[in-house]
Chain A
Amino acid sequence: MRKTDEELIKDVQTGTLEAFDQLMQRYQEYVFRVAYGFGKSQQNAMDISQNVFLKSYEKLDSYKKRSTFKAWIGRIACNEGINWAKKNRRYISSHEMEEVLINQGSNISQEDELLAKENKAELLKSLLALNTKYRLAVVLRYLEEMPIKQISGVLNCSEEVVKNMLHRSLQRLRQNLKQQSYRGGHESM
Chain B
Amino acid sequence: MKVCKKYQKYLKQYLAGEIDSGDESRLFDHIKNCISCQEVFQIHQSLADTQLDLPLPDSQEFVRLREKILDKIRLKESREPLSWYQILSEYFTFSFYKPVVAAVLLLIVFFTGFLSQRFLTDNRVQSKANLLKNIEHTAVKNTDLKAVENSPYIFRNVQFRKIDENNIALSFEVSSHVELISSKNDPLVKEVLVQSLLNPEPLGTRLKSISLTQDIVDPKIKQALIFTLQHDQSLAVRMRALYCLTAYRDDKEVQDAFLKLLKEEESVNMRLMAIDYLVQTNINDQALENTIPYLELGRDAAVRHKLNQYLNIEHTIN
Contact of A29 with B by CB under 8 A: yes
B55 touches A100 (CB 8 A): yes
With A17-B70, A17-B74: A28-B62 Cβ-Cβ less than 8 Å: yes
How many inter-chain contacts with C-beta < 8 Å in the A-B complex?
102
Number of interface residues of B (CB under 8 A): 37
Chain B neighbourhood of A138, CB < 8 A: 47
Bound Cα distance from A142 to B50, whole angstroms: 9
Q: Give the interface SS of chain B, mostly helix, strand, loop or mixed.
A: helix
Chain B neighbourhood of A173, CB < 8 A: 43
B40 touches A50 (CB 8 A): no
B66 touches A123 (CB 8 A): no
Bound Cα distance from A148 to B12, whole angstroms: 11
CB-contacts of B55-93 with A (<8 A): 55-57, 61-62, 65-66, 68-70, 72-74
Pick the interface stretch among A2-10, A67-75, A76-84, A114-122: A114-122
Bound Cα distance from A23 to B62, whole angstroms: 13
Contact of A21 with B by CB under 8 A: yes
Chain A neighbourhood of B62, CB < 8 A: 25, 28-29, 32
Contact of B15 with A by CB under 8 A: yes
A21 touches B70 (CB 8 A): yes
Which residue on chain B has the smallest CB distance to residue A43? B57
Contact of A42 with B by CB under 8 A: yes
Chain A neighbourhood of B66, CB < 8 A: 21, 24-25, 28, 53
Bound Cα distance from A57 to B46, whole angstroms: 37
B54 touches A143 (CB 8 A): yes
With A24-B69, A57-B73: A29-B40 Cβ-Cβ less than 8 Å: no
Bound Cα distance from A163 to B13, whole angstroms: 8
Contact of B45 with A by CB under 8 A: yes
Chain B neighbourhood of A147, CB < 8 A: 17
Bound Cα distance from A25 to B43, whole angstroms: 32
In the complex, besides A143-B53, A163-B12, 17 extra interface pairs with C-beta distance below 8 angstroms are A17-B70, A24-B69, A29-B62, A46-B65, A50-B65, A53-B69, A54-B72, A104-B55, A123-B46, A123-B47, A124-B54, A142-B48, A143-B54, A148-B16, A148-B18, A163-B16, A170-B15
Interface residues of B (CB under 8 A from A): 3, 8, 11-13, 15-18, 36, 39-40, 42-50, 52-57, 61-62, 65-66, 68-70, 72-74
